[in-house]
Amino acid sequence: MKTEDFDYELPENLIAQTPLEKRDASKLLVLDKDTGKVTHHVFTDIVEYLNKGDVLVINDTKVIPARLYGEKEETGAIIELLMLKDTGNDIWECLAKPAKRIKEGTVISFGNGLLKAECVGIREEGIRLMKFFYQGIFYEILDELGEMPLPPYIHEKLEEKNRYQTVYAKNIGSAAAPTAGLHFTEDLLKKIKEKGVIIVPVTLHVGLGTFRPVNVDDVKSHKMHSEFYQMSKETAEILMKAKQEKRPIISVGTTTTRTLESIMSLYGNFKECSGWTDIFIYPGYQFKAIDHLITNFHLPKSTLVMLVSALAGREHILNAYREAIEKEYRFFSFGDSMFIK
């Protein structure tokens, strides 16, 4: 299976640069994974596709302002850090630019010394282990100094930080938003609950995998970076009951999907747990946890296009993407949505 098999041509003007004024005003493409049939809607219509007893699973991770710009103490050179993973003891895996300037012992200062970071380890692909030094509450300092880590294809400045958060964001730790959830509003979630749909959270802190392209020819040679996930006892019990009663489980986003499939692959059921996953889902994978998926439109040749192709079939996905391009859907993080039923 070749990476090229998941490529498609996207006009640059269809890459959404800013969020819509109303979260739930985005377009919704509905794809029948069995037949490949495509229909077109608006996101508020998602309520019509959800039924009493269905379980809707959301990722309640919260994005941190993880992009920092600072200066090397010895030279004053400008350094960018993208904080990816909290490894404990104030040490974070960070993507550094330019990485070649950061050796072990290099100290970077942010906000005139309000926050400092020392390199304590070197990893491949521009990753550095950075130990942070500060006085006060770390996340409050980050709120003051950090920027939202928007993907590199977004060139517009984000006016409101909270537009790169879901309305249900709760557990701090992501380097990127679980973007399929950005379409939901409090009012829409209320309507879904009133219909008898059960909404439950899991947590997956999104890391480098979101930013990292597939740069190998053979799909199976690609290595995923691990990301932290967590499932509560309450969520596990609701999901297990739904499985036993053969009620549909609808995943909001690929991050939620990877969490549910990781847990089911590891334990054979849903249970209270936490850990790290590097699950890579591509065509040929047999889904064990989810029945349907709400998602966005993903980058060509990305692991996310491969995941949705595993669920709905590569041809069905590429045909749906072609139709979305013809109808000028907005793509990627701030773009429109798709429901794979």
DSSP per-residue codes, 89-106: TTEEEEEEETGGG--TT-
pLDDT score for 152:
85
Read off the pTM. 0.92
| CA distance readout (Å), 223 to 121, 216, 290, 293 | 21, 10, 23, 24
174-186 confidence digits (pLDDT tens): 989 999 999 999 9
Query: To the nearest whole number, what is the mean pLDDT of the chain?
Result: 94
User: Looking at the predicted structure, is the pLDDT value of residue 249 above 90?
Assistant: yes
User: Looking at the predicted structure, is the pLDDT value of residue 318 above 90?
Assistant: yes
Confidence of residue 74 (pLDDT cuts 50, 70, 90): confident
Beta strands in the chain (DSSP E): 27-31, 38-42, 55-59, 61-63, 67-72, 78-88, 91-97, 107-110, 115-122, 127-134, 171-174, 198-204, 227-231, 249-252, 273-277, 292-296, 337-340
Please report, rounded to a whole number, the percentage of residues in the chain having pLDDT higher than 70. 99
pLDDT score for 42:
98
Stronger pLDDT, 222 or 327, i.e. the higher one: 327
pLDDT score for 157:
85
pLDDT score for 36:
96
Count of residues making up the chain: 341
Neighbours of 292 (CB within 10 A): 17
Written as six digits, the tokens of 164 are: 């790169």
| CA distance readout (Å), 99 to 79, 80, 102 | 8, 9, 5
DSSP 2: B
Whole-angstrom distance between the N-terminal and C-terminal Cα of the chain? 25
* pLDDT, mean of residues 66-72: 95
Amino acid at 259: T
User: Looking at the predicted structure, is the pLDDT value of residue 210 above 80?
Assistant: no
Distance CA 40, CA 268 (A): 36
Confidence of residue 211 (pLDDT cuts 50, 70, 90): low
pLDDT score for 63:
95
pLDDT score for 125:
84
Confidence of residue 300 (pLDDT cuts 50, 70, 90): very high
pLDDT score for 322:
97
The partner residues of 94 in beta bridges, in order of sequence, read 83, 128
Please report, rounded to a whole number, the percentage of residues in the chain having pLDDT higher than 90. 87
| 98 prior amide bond cis, ω within 30 | yes
User: Which of 4-8, 167-171, 217-221 comes out lowest in average pLDDT?
Assistant: 217-221
Range list of H helices, the chain: 138-145, 186-194, 233-244, 254-267, 303-312, 314-326
